[in-house]
Structure 1
Amino acid sequence: MSANGRYVYAIIATDEDKQFGPIGIGGRNDAVFTQCYQDVGAVVSSSPVIQYPVSRANTLAHQRILERVMVEHSLLPVRFGTIADDVDQIRDKVLIARYAEIRDRLTYVSDKTELGLKVLWTDMSGLFQEIVNENKEIRRIRDRLAEKKGAAQRDQVRLGEMVKKALDHKRKKMEKNILSLLLPLSVDHRKNPVFGDQMITNSAFLIFRHQEAEFDRAVNDVAEAHMTQLKFKYVGPVPPCNFVEMSIVW
């Protein structure tokens, strides 16, 4: 049987012993609590010293604990699967050794939260037709391919390149338009990779908690203005993993 260590979920600003309930990862109903040094505390639970599979159940358990802590505290998320051998290791190698760094990062996220936004085109066929209608050269190559005249393979490659370039131009233009309305309300912003032709932006915003309702309204306004062409996937508040994440190596 594996020895019990301490699974580390997050770090918060507190000098109090906090209890967050029997919600620890692993399904054993382990208590989640704080281990403090001066005015910072690691949020931990008892856990076997094992490598947790990156399964849906485990990642959701980790995420839900962060969300529970976020109800009361701004936090520094710790990477999934971080387990210390004992409380001394957390205190000495993290809370004491990295105290100044922790304080700086906690100040950065204090009273802030992360919101995520993905925006996608709803009608790709219509969008491609719009690109064809706007570009004479694309129409010419398309028509030639339809008639099966000339170097078909070369024309197919050329047509694909031109359509991709036009689509990317439209994506960037729309993304710029959307972000111009949201960035003034955020403290920081991260653009994550987009996937496929349909996605326009995959963005994370760090905002002050007191501005969350205002940011919600701004997203709703943008979504309503583009409801016939765009689909908005808006999530949050979530832990600020796009802006701060503690990577701990023992």
Structure 2
Amino acid sequence: MTKEGQYIYAIVAANEERGFGQKGIGDREDEVHTVCYQDIGAVVSPSPIVKYSVTRVNTMVHQKVMEEGMKYYPLLPVRFGTIGERADLIKEKVLKARHDEFKDLLRYVEDKIELGLKALWTNKEAVFREIVDENKDIRLLRDRLISKGLRAQRDDQIRLGEMVKKALDAKKGREEKAILKFFKGLWVEHKANNVMGDQMITNCAFLVQKDQEKAFDEAVDKLTAKHDGRMKLKYVGPVPPCNFVEIVVKW
């Protein structure tokens, strides 16, 4: 029989145990609640002690619980898939043992939010045309390959592809730097995450003081207006500060 435990979503600044009215991870509809030690708590739900797959459903439940928690408390995200055996052990081995560490981190995040921004070119073909126009060596090699037609050497074709890739990465770097200038002075921490595909220019997370959120929103609006039609922005937040804090629990 599978042992029972408590799935841990987050550490919060809470001194009173309460239910969230939310269903936890898994298919049993266990209720999310807090367990507390002094002035900090863990957001948990009953769960069998199993390894949860990193599926969209599971990660969304984890995320939604954290988003609900941050409405009420300063919150530290806990790594996905963390399960403790019993509430009393979580209090003793996690909350009590790391109380001062968690208090310091909670003080750090209490007046901050995480905002996310992705920027993508809307027309990939237009960007590649720009690259050819901006790079004489690429243009000359491309023209030579076109003139040779079927007789074009595969090595030259590979070299052209490598040159274009290098130029594309450089272009992304320049445009990302220009994008970040719009937000100068508006963030406390910044993290550049992996970009996916040729069209994504940047995929950034920002830790921002709460009183700067409006100014950040306005900067996004200005960036959108400047690049309307050429660039698409995906702006999300506030969200739990997962890009800047991840609590790892080792039993």
Scaled to the shorter chain, the TM-score interval is over 0.9
Task: Kindly indicate whether residue 41 of structure 2 is the aligned counterpart of residue 41 of structure 1.
Answer: yes
1:192 maps to a residue whose letter is: N
1:209-228 correspondence runs (5 A): 209-228=210-229
- Does structure 2 retain, via aligned residues, the 8 Å contact 1:74–1:113? no
2:178 maps to a residue whose letter is: N
CA shift digits 1:179-209 (9 cap, x unpaired) = 1111421111100111222111110011122
Aligned match of 2:4: 4
Aligned match of 1:244: 245
Aligned match of 1:235: 236
Deviation at 1:151, TM superposition (A): 6.3
TM-score in terms of structure 1 length: 0.93
TM-score in terms of structure 2 length: 0.93
CA shift digits 1:78-112 (9 cap, x unpaired) = 11121111012211211111112111211221121
1:76-155 correspondence runs (5 A): 76-148=76-148, 152-155=153-156
- Does structure 2 retain, via aligned residues, the 8 Å contact 1:115–1:238? yes
Deviation at 1:222, TM superposition (A): 0.3
Q: Secondary structure at the match of 2:185?
A: helix
2:47 maps to a residue whose letter is: S
Deviation at 1:6, TM superposition (A): 1.1
- Does structure 2 retain, via aligned residues, the 8 Å contact 1:7–1:82? yes
Identity of aligned residues (%): 55
Deviation at 1:218, TM superposition (A): 0.9
Unpaired segments of 5 or more residues in structure 2?
Answer: none
* Cα separation, 1, equivalents of 2:62 and 2:249: 16
2:43 maps to a residue whose letter is: V
* Cα separation, 1, equivalents of 2:247 and 2:184: 25
* Cα separation, 1, equivalents of 2:232 and 2:74: 30
Deviation at 1:171, TM superposition (A): 0.9
Moved more, 175-184 or 14-23: 14-23
Aligned match of 1:59: 59
Aligned match of 1:19: 19
- Does structure 1 retain, via aligned residues, the 8 Å contact 2:5–2:48? yes
1:202 maps to a residue whose letter is: N
* Cα separation, 2, equivalents of 1:83 and 1:131: 50
Aligned residue pairs, count: 250
Unpaired segments of 5 or more residues in structure 1?
Answer: none
Q: Secondary structure at the match of 1:185?
A: coil
* Cα separation, 1, equivalents of 2:179 and 2:135: 25
- Does structure 2 retain, via aligned residues, the 8 Å contact 1:9–1:65? yes
Moved more, 164-173 or 197-206: 164-173
* Cα separation, 2, equivalents of 1:192 and 1:22: 30
Deviation at 1:157, TM superposition (A): 2.6
- Does structure 2 retain, via aligned residues, the 8 Å contact 1:79–1:246? yes
- Does structure 1 retain, via aligned residues, the 8 Å contact 2:22–2:65? no
* Cα separation, 2, equivalents of 1:139 and 1:244: 46
What's the RMSD between the two structures over aligned residues? 1.7
Deviation at 1:18, TM superposition (A): 2.7
Deviation at 1:162, TM superposition (A): 2.2
Aligned match of 2:181: 180
- Does structure 1 retain, via aligned residues, the 8 Å contact 2:84–2:90? yes
1:210 maps to a residue whose letter is: D
CA shift digits 1:115-163 (9 cap, x unpaired) = 1111111111111112212222222111110111886223223322322
